[in-house]
Structure 1
Amino acid sequence: MPRWIGSAGCCVQQGSMLMVKGTAEEELWSIPSGGLEADESLEECCAREVWEETGYRIDVVRELMIKKARYGEWDAEVHYFEVKLVGGFMKIQDPDGLIADIAWKSKTEIDEIQLQYPEDRALILDLLNE
């Protein structure tokens, strides 16, 4: 079974979560995330993926959880981190061309949008309630 390891950056600012919308037909929203590259720590992966997908520079604050799941034939392990903005500006610069939009989503909006990973909704709402 092939294995995929990645990181996701959860950034809350002024009561909203930083989210990205994919380019797939359904245009589902998710937390900025992506796969670990060679010689890269999970924290470095998180910072790179948030920058590539949103244009924002972040610092990792703490690890929140590890999600293990199977997607098709892949066993996935995603490390979720709480992050804080330290620079940059909103700009799609994803080298894979998988991002269609970037937005700050409120708790009310999170309740209404379709998520690429619906199992992340509870984590997102918990972070917005802190």
Structure 2
Amino acid sequence: MSKWIGAAAICVNSDNQVLMVLQGKPEEEKRWSVPSGGKEQDETLEECCIREVYEETGYRCEIIQVIKDKAGAFGPVKYHVKYFEIAIVGGQPTLHDPDGLIYEIAWKTAAQLNELHFSFPEDKEFLLRYIEQRALD
């Protein structure tokens, strides 16, 4: 069984909106996700997260903290994804995705998240709880 390791970025702005990207292979239905991707050979998960955010959104970011680990299997592939809370520190929304899988960058409210088709449906509840908790803090 092979293993895939990656990082995902959770960024909530001052309007309580989450940074999301519309993604998918050209032949697939496009679905929404937080910026994320696979770890390259000699990079840390933090470096992976920062690189993926830039490639998929054009934003420069910094890591605030780890907020979730997700592990499981998708068919014969085991996966482990570390979710980081990030802060935007520069850049502007621009696609730099070398894989050509990102089609749109958007900030989404909790109400909008409820209407989206997610690449990883299990992330929806987590994001909604995370936004709700941040609003209470």
TM score, norm. by length of structure 2: 0.92
- Secondary structure at 1:117's aligned position in 2? coil
Deviations 1:62-90 (A, max 9, x none): 00111002123210100000000000000
One-letter identity of the residue aligned with 2:12: V
User: Counterpart in 1 of 2:18?
Assistant: 17
User: Counterpart in 2 of 1:5?
Assistant: 5
Residues 55-66 of structure 1 aligned to structure 2 (within 5 Å):
55-66=58-69
TM score, norm. by length of structure 1: 0.96
More strand per residue: 1
Residues 1-130 of structure 1 aligned to structure 2 (within 5 Å):
1-13=1-13, 14-24=15-25, 25-129=28-132, 130=134
Distance 2:69 2:80 in 1: 7
| 4+ residue segments displaced more than 3 Å | none
One-letter identity of the residue aligned with 1:15: N
One-letter identity of the residue aligned with 1:118: P
- Secondary structure at 2:48's aligned position in 1? helix
- Secondary structure at 1:12's aligned position in 2? coil
One-letter identity of the residue aligned with 2:52: E
Identity among equivalent pairs (%)? 45
Answer yes or no: is the 8 Å Cα contact 1:12–1:127 preserved in 2: no
